Amino acid sequence: MRMEITNVSEYEKIAKQKLPKMIYDYFASGAEDQWTLRENRSAFSRILFRPRILVDVSNIDMTTTILGFKISMPIMIAPTAMQKMAHPEGELATARAASAANTIMVYKDRNVVRQLVGRAEKAGFKAIVLTVDTPRLGRREADIKNRFTLPPSLTLKNFEELNIEKMDMTNDSGLASYVGSQVDRSLSWKDVKWLQTITSLPIILKGVMTAEDTRLAVQAGVAGIVVSNHGARQLDYVPATITCLEEVVKAAQGKVPVFLDGGIRRGTDIFKALALGASGVFIGRPVVFALAADGEAGVRKVLQMLSDELELTMALSGCTSIEQITRNHVVTESDSNRNLSKM
C-alpha cells in the first residue's frame, strides 16, 4: 500500500531509497562537517510565534508581487542543477509544476555567458539569478568519496556545442574538477556591471549574507537579493540563512526585495521568513526529492503542501494577507537577548 505523504520532508526518505547513493549524496550533502547544513534547519526551530486572536480569517489571500509579476504565493523554486539525475523529465517536469527559476554562473569565457544570457532572453525568462558564492567549489566530502560524475546518459545541455572542457572522472569529484576549470575566481562587482551591459533583464544576486555586501549590491543596481549559503554546500560554519535574513533586510532599506533560500521545509518556516522581512522564499532540495519520488506530481504536491501549511499558519496567527505578516508576529533569540539585557 502506498504511503500517504503528509509533509515535504517525507519525500527525502523515498528519494534516498530510489536514487543511487552517489546521486542522493550529491543532492543531500553539505560542505565539510555539514554544521551549516543542520543549522539551516535547526535555526527555524529557535524562532517562535506571537499569534493574534479573534481575527476574521475566513478569507486568506496569499498572492504577492515579485519584480512586477503577480504570483499565487510567495513560494518559488530555487535554481537547482542537473535535475535529470533525480527524474528522467528533470527540469521539464519541474517547470510544468511551477514557473521555474533560472540561474547562471559567470564563466571564464565571457562569450559563453553572452550565449547563455541570449538563450534565456529568447526563452522568455523574466530575470537572471547570478550565483555569487562559488569562486571555488566547497569541499563536499560525500562527492569526493563517491568520485561523483554525471551519469553517462546525461549532459550539461546548456553547454552543448560550446567549446568547454568535459567533466573529469578521475580526480576526486568530477564536478569539482569541472567547476574549478570553468569558474572565474577573479569574479567581482565589476562583472555584475558587465552583465548589466549585455542584458536588459533584472539581475538578482544569490548568495548574499551580510549587510556590507547588501549595500554594495544595492549600489550596483541589482534588482533583488537572495540570502543564500548555497544549501550549506560552500563554506561550512556560516550562519543559517534565516539567521542572516534580518541583517540583510535592514541593510537593503526597502530599495530591493530580499528573498530567502535554505532550509525551508514547512509553511511555518515560510511565515517566519516573511515576518523577518523576506519578500518570498525559494525551495530547492524538497523539489528535487519530490521529483525523484514522484516526478511532476511530487513537485506539485510539495508546492501544494507548503501553500496549505502557510495558509494555516497565517490563519492561526491572525493574518489574512501577506502584507499583514509583520515582525511582531515572531520572537527570535536576539529579541530574548535584548530583553534580558534590559533587566
How far is residue 231 CA from its own chain's centroid? 7
Do 82 and 149 form a contact (C-beta atoms < 8 A)?
A: no
Helix, strand, coil % over all residues of the chain, rounded to 5:
45, 10, 40
Answer yes or no: are the C-beta atoms of 143 and 167 closer than 8 Å.
no
Q: Which amino acid would we find at residue 71?
A: I
Evaluate whether 21 touches 148 at the Cβ level (below 8 Å): no
How far from 207 is each of 168, 213, 235, 251, CA to CA, in Å? 27, 10, 11, 15
The number of angstroms, rounded, from the C-alpha of 252 to the middle of its chain's C-alpha atoms is 19
Cα–Cα separations (whole angstroms), residue 295 to 78, 95, 260: 17, 11, 25
Residue for grid cell 560524475: 149
- 228 labeled binding residue: yes
230 in a known ligand binding site = yes
Residue tagged active-site, from 230, 266, 272, 329: 230
User: Is 254 part of any known ligand binding site?
Assistant: no
Report H helices in 158-266: 174-182, 189-198, 211-219, 241-252
- Residue 268's contacts (CB-CB under 8 Å, 6 or more residues apart) are 44, 49, 309, 313
| Residue 264 is assigned to a ligand binding site | yes
Ligand-binding site membership of 231 (annotated):
no
Q: Is 131 annotated as a binding residue?
A: yes
- 233 labelled as ligand-binding? yes
Is 6 flagged in the annotation as binding? no
Q: Does 329 show up as a binding residue in the annotation?
A: no
Is 284 labeled as ligand-binding? yes
140 is in an annotated binding site: yes
224 is an annotated ligand-binding site residue: no
Q: Is 230 one of the annotated active-site residues of the chain?
A: yes
Question: Is 261 within any annotated ligand binding site?
Answer: yes
Q: Quick check: 207 and 133 in contact, CB under 8 A?
A: yes
DSSP 222: -
Residue stretches of the annotated binding site? 26, 79-81, 131, 140, 206, 228, 230, 233, 261-265, 284-285
Residue stretches of the annotated binding site for FMN? 79-81, 131, 206, 228, 261-265, 284-285
State the catalytic residues. Answer: 230
Residue stretches of the annotated binding site for glyoxylate? 26, 140, 230, 233
